[in-house]
Chains A and B, each alone.
Chain A
């Protein structure tokens, strides 16, 4: 029996990893700007930023785990396997980008 065709709405997942990357960047930028505007203590601002980044990284990591498992599932059509592979690799790339671009900066002085 033929497997059902991959639903078009699954295509949104192609952008999920980097959408989370963008979300992490914008949220960190906004919270940092607001924290500096309202003169939050350096330690608590840094902690808040780190927590926000961690939350995003956990979200990307969880999606990676989920799609990696789905890839190993039975009954994959060629198009399904292709889309899953692309989703998994965009998630990997997004996670690595998030760590490199956003994590080291949190060690810098917060508001100068």
Chain B
């Protein structure tokens, strides 16, 4: 039971507590490091890995600049050039930008929230391995000459089988989808942790602005990634099995890819920008030595930005032939999105103007941010105006704009944040003036490289071209641009040397070196594996007024959970809005399961890549088995009731309360899935409205099977509800769970029978393909429901489910309710499709 710190011991209470907590939380040495699940370890690994991909992508960018430095260059063949620029863009965005902002979130968020770790540490680790393996597949493909070569946005039909045979495009589709699994798992993790694992007393209105930004970003990821995942699944299904979703010769619509891609792609700019804006909103008040101006206005602005960024995806498609009226919606929306961005920029400027700013290296990068980002934002507003976009579309002007936005929104704030939090990461302070030199070289190199691209673009140079003749008037600008690229690279090399010198030779950093008020500085430098020896309670003042006093008090165990118990990794769960403590969360110990599951997932992906579909299916089953195995080790095998957490309070474990982290995670998962489902409905209707000529005959579906499938889904959901009621009533409903399994099996077989009878056949026409996708969606969810139920049976047998521990059955009920609702909608559209096609025949 509870083991309290003995004040009579010779050892100081703080040191003794530190030893006890370290024994519980630390990752083991040697190969045991592979079992790490701690957010600090994973965060640093993600940071290092993303910087490694940044370096590789940077080298690829340099190669493109060498190729374009002079006209008629044969430095690379066109085939290699296509692979190089495609992987450069893909890697910079998917393998560097998104994971890098995530790594900041993974490392910092729990510390800033005043908690010990994320809600699902094994998921964090699994996300990291997926990222590493997916990124490695893409990188290795370059070495074997089979890298993607259709541009980082993989437009169809160029990326379809006809124009991109071989596995190049498959590498992109599978590798990037693999990485997106990682991004989504981390997004769910972040949302749950911010809502439920803040320091007690940290109500939403007193939450550091950093956490607001990260919360909104994670929610954006939850909604933005599913359309791209769906697009990748559909295109891979077209390439692997011949389902013609995007093939116009068989009723498909290539523009559907662009819609789904940019439904992800445009918000993604803000998914990258908002975490870096979080960095700026955290750093600027520290250097200005005053509170951030306009906390509430910024919260409103980031919510507005999150939504507006989704509503303007079509501005990437101004030239595809959309009527003017619709173009005007998206043009105006694209201009309006500058307003909430400007609210933040002015809040930062006002904070600096009203404070007494002091200069240090992070402030240099903040200056760089203001200069570069505002430039990129202004050219963005120019491109939002349709007539200008028509002129500049697909020219180097767009390349320049994109690099200014991404460089400004990402690179400069990232480096500001890196220098700001380096003492926290390494425990060491800066040693020399090399940082300043590195900044100026990067800044000058960046502007020399990309500013000139505005001019080459305005002179008509198209993007993605392999070479040019030399009489177009682009020679000098291209040469200077390439020189700028080399200068920028030298700057980054100096920065790497500076970081190395700082880590290796820097003097020990004093605690809280910048005089910040956020909680990450209220701990030892570098932070121990458990982060806080005890969890703080935030007083009326918001952040810690005296960080030093708070740190010592927490180290002595004077906060919550200031003792150890049963060797558990303990954290606190709080009320989502008020931040009052309400549950004890026991986190899992280090385990190899995430690594093994990641390897099995990689094997499934590779099996698909090499068209060994049965092998891939086998590995997918292994992945599911491992997930079920992981679930068997969660929670407690008996009822525990309220447990003391310090300060005279007792709360029950999270397995015995409603609103626990797994429940919120399920809600997030359903939002992800719901977005994917909505995208599928949109895709089906888009293919339908895009049909031209006489559509093929589409007879009414087999209504008996449709009815069996629908009834089986409803019955499964109803029995799942009854099972939960029985459990709450004190029974152990093994029989009901078995009946639910039976109902789902009936649904799965009825669904498979439906797909086998679809006319036109799914490989013959897009109508058949979309109809089969709708039924396939239902079958997939019924299979996932089976996995839930099998896990329920195993956990009931293991004693992990009881009248008080109902979480498992509540999760299953939630999933099956969702499956029934989406299943009925999908079947409704499936039944309606022949009628919709009939309408088209009336209006050819």
Please classify the interface of chain A as helix (H, G, I), strand (E, B), loop, or mixed, using the class held by over half of its residues.
helix
- A18 contacts across to B, CB distance below 8 A: 303-304, 306-308
Whether A7 lies near B577 (C-beta < 8 A) is yes
Question: Which of the 9-residue segments A56-64, A65-73, A101-109 touches chain B?
Answer: A101-109
Whether B303 lies near A15 (C-beta < 8 A) is yes
Whether B326 lies near A37 (C-beta < 8 A) is no
Whether A112 lies near B333 (C-beta < 8 A) is no
- Is B299 interfacial (CB-CB < 8 Å)? yes
Whether A90 lies near B304 (C-beta < 8 A) is yes
Most buried by A among B297, B325, B576, B843: B325
- Is B816 interfacial (CB-CB < 8 Å)? no
| 8 Å CB contact of A110 from B203, B299, B308, B323 | B323
Q: How many residues of B contact A (CB 8 A)?
A: 35
Most buried by A among B204, B323, B329, B843: B329
- Is B739 interfacial (CB-CB < 8 Å)? no
- Is A1 interfacial (CB-CB < 8 Å)? no
| 8 Å CB contact of B843 from A15, A39, A102 | A39
- B329 contacts across to A, CB distance below 8 A: 25, 28-29, 101-102, 105
Whether B326 lies near A33 (C-beta < 8 A) is yes
Whether A79 lies near B332 (C-beta < 8 A) is no
**Please, which residue of chain B has its CB at the minimum distance from the CB of A19?**
B307
- A11 contacts across to B, CB distance below 8 A: 204, 576-577
- Is A41 interfacial (CB-CB < 8 Å)? no
- Is A55 interfacial (CB-CB < 8 Å)? no
Whether B843 lies near A100 (C-beta < 8 A) is no
- B336 contacts across to A, CB distance below 8 A: 97, 100-101
A86 touching B296 in the complex, CB below 8 Å, given contacts A79-B577, A112-B323: yes
- A90 contacts across to B, CB distance below 8 A: 300, 303-304
Whether B659 lies near A8 (C-beta < 8 A) is yes
Whether B577 lies near A86 (C-beta < 8 A) is no
**Please, which residue of chain B has its CB at the minimum distance from the CB of A39?**
B843
- Is B73 interfacial (CB-CB < 8 Å)? no
- A28 contacts across to B, CB distance below 8 A: 326, 329
In the docked arrangement, what's the CA distance between A72 and B751, Å?
A: 54
B235 to chain A, nearest CB (A): 22
- Is B205 interfacial (CB-CB < 8 Å)? yes
Against B, the Cβ 8 Å flags (1 = close, 0 = not) of A26-51 are 10111011101111000000000000
Whether B303 lies near A78 (C-beta < 8 A) is no
Against A, the Cβ 8 Å flags (1 = close, 0 = not) of B195-222 are 1000000011100000000000000000
- B296 contacts across to A, CB distance below 8 A: 82, 85-86, 89
Whether B304 lies near A8 (C-beta < 8 A) is no
Against B, the Cβ 8 Å flags (1 = close, 0 = not) of A3-20 are 001111011001100110
Whether B308 lies near A86 (C-beta < 8 A) is no
- Is B310 interfacial (CB-CB < 8 Å)? yes
Segment 251-304 of B: residues with Cβ below 8 Å from A: 296-297, 299-300, 303-304
Whether B323 lies near A10 (C-beta < 8 A) is no
Whether A106 lies near B307 (C-beta < 8 A) is no
- Is B575 interfacial (CB-CB < 8 Å)? yes
**Please, which residue of chain B has its CB at the minimum distance from the CB of A14?**
B303
In the docked arrangement, what's the CA distance between A79 and B578, Å?
A: 7
B405 to chain A, nearest CB (A): 21
- B333 contacts across to A, CB distance below 8 A: 25, 97, 101
- A30 contacts across to B, CB distance below 8 A: 685
Whether A108 lies near B325 (C-beta < 8 A) is yes
Against A, the Cβ 8 Å flags (1 = close, 0 = not) of B671-703 are 000000000000001000100000000000000
Whether B323 lies near A111 (C-beta < 8 A) is yes
- B326 contacts across to A, CB distance below 8 A: 28-29, 32-33, 105
- A37 contacts across to B, CB distance below 8 A: 689, 843
- B300 contacts across to A, CB distance below 8 A: 86, 89-90, 93
Show 18 A/B contacts (Cβ-Cβ < 8 Å), sorted by A.
Answer: A5-B580, A6-B577, A21-B307, A21-B308, A29-B329, A36-B323, A79-B204, A79-B577, A82-B296, A86-B300, A89-B296, A89-B297, A90-B300, A90-B303, A94-B307, A97-B304, A100-B332, A102-B329
A-B complex: 3 closest residue pairs judged by Cβ atoms: A18-B307, A105-B328, A82-B205
A residues in contact (CB < 8 Å) with B: 5-8, 10-11, 14-15, 18-19, 21-22, 25-26, 28-30, 32-34, 36-39, 77-79, 81-83, 85-86, 89-90, 93-94, 97, 100-102, 104-106, 108-112
Q: A5-B575, A94-B304, A112-B323 are in contact. List 10 more A-B contacts (CB 8 A).
A: A8-B576, A32-B323, A37-B689, A37-B843, A78-B205, A89-B297, A97-B308, A100-B336, A105-B332, A111-B323
